[in-house]
């Protein structure tokens, strides 16, 4: 990496901190292939920040992502989707999950999905295949395998063992 590139990155980071009160990572700055793409993202960042909707620190961003996941865990969203939404590099967001939660993004989403499935199995008479879809699994067989890995028994066995009639 050239000295000129380092100076540019530091200048952008300082501008973002001094004028927008947000931190931007070098990873995020280096993630752009073209300058026009970088400009569009910066303008979007400035616009959203001026509306007060952008969290400012990595931990604040992680907390926002966690809230989003808890509301929309059943959707097909990736770590990259959330990283783009919050203008953070996916690798940085991944590190935040590991540092703060000691979990990967996939593990966190899976835990939420499994807990929701468990509640639905106990509170409804829906088929396991219907519950699978409602908690974000397209394949009922795969859902059953993940459930078994998570809880040690299949969804059907879980329902039979724990459902109170």
Kindly write down the DSSP assignment for every residue of 139-159, as one continuous string.
Answer: -HHHHHHHHHHHHSS-HHHHH
Backbone angles phi, psi at 56, to 5 degrees: -105, -30
pTM above 0.75, yes or no: no
Residues 17-49: tens digit of each pLDDT: 666 666 666 666 667 776 677 767 777 766 666
CA distance 104 to 126: 30
Tell me, what's the pLDDT at 73?
Answer: 92
CA distance 103 to 108: 6
Mean pLDDT of the chain: 84
Residues of the chain with pLDDT under 70: 1, 16-30, 34-35, 39, 45-56, 164-165
């Amino acid at each position: 990496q050239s000295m000129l590139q380092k100076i540019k990155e530091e200048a952008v980071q300082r501008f973002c901190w001094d004028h927008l009160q947000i931190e931007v990572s070098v990873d995020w700055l280096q993630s752009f292939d073209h300058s026009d793409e970088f400009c569009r993202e910066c303008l979007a960042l400035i616009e959203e920040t001026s509306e007060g909707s952008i969290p400012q620190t990595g931990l604040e961003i992680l907390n926002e992502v966690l809230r989003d996941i808890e509301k929309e865990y059943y959707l097909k969203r990736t770590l990259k989707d959330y990283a783009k939404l919050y203008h953070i590099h996916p690798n940085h967001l991944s590190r935040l999950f590991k540092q703060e939660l000691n979990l990967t993004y996939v593990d966190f989403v899976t835990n939420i999905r499994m807990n929701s499935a468990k509640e639905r199995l106990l509170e409804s008479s829906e088929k396991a295949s219907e519950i699978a879809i409602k908690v974000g699994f397209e394949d009922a067989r795969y859902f059953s395998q993940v459930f078994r890995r998570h809880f040690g028994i299949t969804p059907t066995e879980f329902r039979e063992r724990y459902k109170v009639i």
